[in-house]
Amino acid sequence: MQSLLLSIRLAACVSAILFVVGLPLAYGLAYTRWRGKFLVESIVALPLVLPPTVLGFYALVAMGTQGPLGRFWQATFGHGLAFTFTGLVFASVIYSLPFAVQPLIASFESIDHKLLDASAVLGADALRTFRRVILPMSTPGVVTALVLSFAHTLGEFGVVLMVGGNLPGSTRTISIDVYDHVQSLEYAEANRLALILLAFSFVVLSIVYAVNRRIGRRVWAPWPAK
Amino acid sequence: MAGEINAVALSLCIRMERRTRNAASFVLDVSLEIPPGITILFGTSGAGKSTLLDCIAGLVRPDAGQINIDDATVFDSENHVNVPPQHRRIAYVFQSLALFPHMTAEENVAYGLPHLPTDQRSARIAEVLQAFRVENLRRRRPAEISGGEKQRVALARSLVTLPRVLLLDEPLTGLDAELKASIVDDLRAWNAAQKIPVLYVTHTREEVDALGERVVVLDRGHVINQGAPHEVLDAPRRKKLAQAAGFENLLDATVVELREIDGVMRVRLAESSSEIEVPLGYAAPNDRVKIAIRAGDILLATQYPVGLSARNILAGKIVSLEPRGSMVVARVQAGVSFTAHVTPGATRALELTAGKPVWIVLKTHSCHLLSE
């Protein structure tokens, strides 16, 4: 159970960070045009195609005592990043980035551009337009982004294995735990955890799809329109 | 504008070239002075009307030129002035209206007033909602109200900010004439107090007649005429204008006789012996004129019609029938060749076929006189 709680804590941290990082990133990718944009788009999409072990390997190297991120962290906070919960969060944020950014881009781009023009003509600057028009109209995208980054982080294995190691309570996530149990031929224990993860993921995804369907009729409004 | 202290005027002189992928580049080159009151911007689609409004609003940047509202410069390419749209104080109602779908009518209207104290804000909103007769829709969202109501809310939302200029891009399309007229009346009433320039884009002649104090005709990015509607579009009309307004029939004719007392004259069509009666124009007998008739204004009859107010009945024969979408394009030879639009139902009911003799019926006022 400890591993499940750890996984949930990790997924919650990662979703929160991705929400903050993802909104401006998606805004930039959806609404602005600049020369190097395709490069950033590729970088954001990389975790979709790279094997988690490759991503995890580079994350480990970067966080290691010789890596740039690791040295910076060591100098600033007095301890390393590799094999810590924080390190896991870092790697997971990158690993789940496309799952947060792409739903946001898709829903930003689906907004009729005339609405943004109307907002500007009515005196609103970009920030107000974002807050009052783009964000409330992107609720399904935001919910999808949050839930997908949460669910994706919850289910990650390769990256955690590379970066986190297997320390109970700080880096042993549920997927690692399942793997360990299988390795030790404890199938009953593995099955219990796997089933929890399966049920949890299914419920979460059902919520995403249900919300996406219901939002069309605006049954609930998470963003008060004032 | 001496003496009218309130009156704001818009003046602009802009040039813009837009290269399109298929070679033909579009050039917008316009110089205009727009006084307070409603000015119609008239032209076919693709004439550059919406682009011109986008430039004035600041949504599109012209290549060169200047745009002034009264004494304030909002765009000047030479001095690198380009005030962003949110600071121009120009209201713009799009054809799609662009009401925010997630806000109620009242929230939409309040959108442009974030900095006002609450009491002033509510007063202003109440006033404009009343002026456009939509107080009862306050709590409804755009999806829950009718087309005409949406148009009223969109106008209210734009005007509540007390803009210096109002731009309207065919905001009343799709409404019936009566509803349109009542909305325009409300707009006029509002503007009687504000006295701002209103630039109203349309491509339909009916709207020019209904609204017009002043009309500017735009064709392929250039102003080709401006003035009072009856001067610009009626009197000696230019052929280009007729084509812009969508007349399918352009006929050469010779004036036979003027009947000033009835306000009509008789003309003979081209080399034929067919004569028709058209509205009186600046012409003398034996003058050569052009007559423009819309294909939709021509009636076809299979028997000689009697008891009809239409003055022109010509015998002819159907040359061809060509279905096009929800209508049939009929070519009829009656001394000269006519193009008429009929419905598929009428085609069947009258058993129209190529070679069948028909009568062409034309109302006098469906025949528009053009000068050479």
- B137 with B153, same domain: the answer is yes
Structure tokens of B220? 């392929």
Using a CB-CB distance cutoff of 8 angstroms, which residues of chain B are in contact with residue A31?
none
Domain made up of A2-215: CATH architecture: Orthogonal Bundle (1.10)
- B180 with B200, same domain: the answer is yes
Which chain A residue has its CA at the smallest distance from B101's CA? A137
Distance (Å) from the alpha carbon of B91 to chain A's nearest alpha carbon: 6
Using a CB-CB distance cutoff of 8 angstroms, which residues of chain B are in contact with residue A118?
92, 94, 98-100
How confident is residue A3, by pLDDT bands cut at 50, 70 and 90? confident
Structure tokens of A198? 């399966």
Structure tokens of B323? 């279905």
- B36 with B165, same domain: the answer is yes
Could you list the residue range(s) of the whole structural domain that residue B304 is in? 246-370
Distance CA A71, CA A57 (A): 17
Distance CA B246, CA B344 (A): 21
Q: With the CA atoms of B38, B43, B44 and B50 taken in that order, what torsion angle do they form, in degrees rounded to the nearest 10? A: -60
Contact call for B112 and A125, based on CB within 8 A: no
Q: With the CA atoms of B47, B50, B51 and B54 taken in that order, what torsion angle do they form, in degrees rounded to the nearest 10? A: 160
Q: Residue A66: pLDDT above 50? A: yes
B19 is a domain residue: yes
Q: Write the pLDDT tens digit of every residue in B176-220.
A: 777 888 888 888 888 888 889 999 998 777 777 767 678 898 888
The pLDDT score that the predictor gives to residue A204 is 78
- B26 with B169, same domain: the answer is yes
> How many domains would you assign to chain B?
2
Q: Residue B11: pLDDT above 80? A: yes
Last residue of a domain, one of B213, B241, B269: B241
Q: Write the pLDDT tens digit of every residue in B97-132.
A: 999 999 999 999 999 998 888 899 999 999 999 988
Structure tokens of B116? 């006002």
Using a CB-CB distance cutoff of 8 angstroms, which residues of chain B are in contact with residue A120?
58-59, 84-86
Selecting from A117, A122, A137 the residue whose C-beta is nearest the C-beta of B111 gives A122
How confident is residue B241, by pLDDT bands cut at 50, 70 and 90? low
B73 is a domain residue: yes
Which chain A residue has its CA at the smallest distance from B161's CA? A122
Q: Residue B69: pLDDT above 80? A: yes
The pLDDT score that the predictor gives to residue B222 is 87
A182 CB within 8 Å of a chain B CB: no
Q: What number is the ipTM of this complex?
A: 0.78
Contact call for B98 and A114, based on CB within 8 A: yes
Dihedral-angle region of residue B318 (phi above 0 means left; psi in -120 to 50 means alpha; beta otherwise): beta
Contact call for A117 and B91, based on CB within 8 A: no
B345 is a domain residue: yes
Q: What is the mean pLDDT of residues A171-190?
A: 89
The pLDDT score that the predictor gives to residue B158 is 93
Selecting from B57, B89, B103 the residue whose C-beta is nearest the C-beta of A225 gives B103
- Domain ranges, ordered by start, for chain A: 2-215
A215 CB within 8 Å of a chain B CB: no
Last residue of a domain, one of B214, B241, B268: B241
- B231 with B251, same domain: the answer is no
B30 is a domain residue: yes
Contact call for A120 and B87, based on CB within 8 A: no
- B250 with B224, same domain: the answer is no
Contact call for B86 and A123, based on CB within 8 A: yes
- B42 with B170, same domain: the answer is yes
Contact call for B92 and A118, based on CB within 8 A: yes
A117 CB within 8 Å of a chain B CB: yes
User: What percent of chain B stands above pLDDT 70?
Assistant: 91
B4 is a domain residue: no
Q: Beta strand B197-202 with B37-42: parallel, antiparallel or unpaired?
A: parallel
A121 CB within 8 Å of a chain B CB: yes
Q: Is B216 exposed, middle or buried (0-12, 13-18, 19+ CB in 10 A)?
A: buried
Structure tokens of A208? 């995403």
Which chain B residue has its CA at the smallest distance from A223's CA? B102
CATH of the domain at B111: 3.40.50.300
Q: What is the mean pLDDT of residues B264-272?
A: 85
Which chain B residue has its CA at the smallest distance from A120's CA? B86
The pLDDT score that the predictor gives to residue A19 is 93
- In one-letter notation, the amino acid at residue B124 is R
Using alpha carbons, list the distances in angstroms from residue A181 to A174, A186, B213, B225. Answer: 10, 5, 84, 85
How confident is residue B242, by pLDDT bands cut at 50, 70 and 90? low
Q: Which residue carries 């094997």 as its tokens?
A: A51
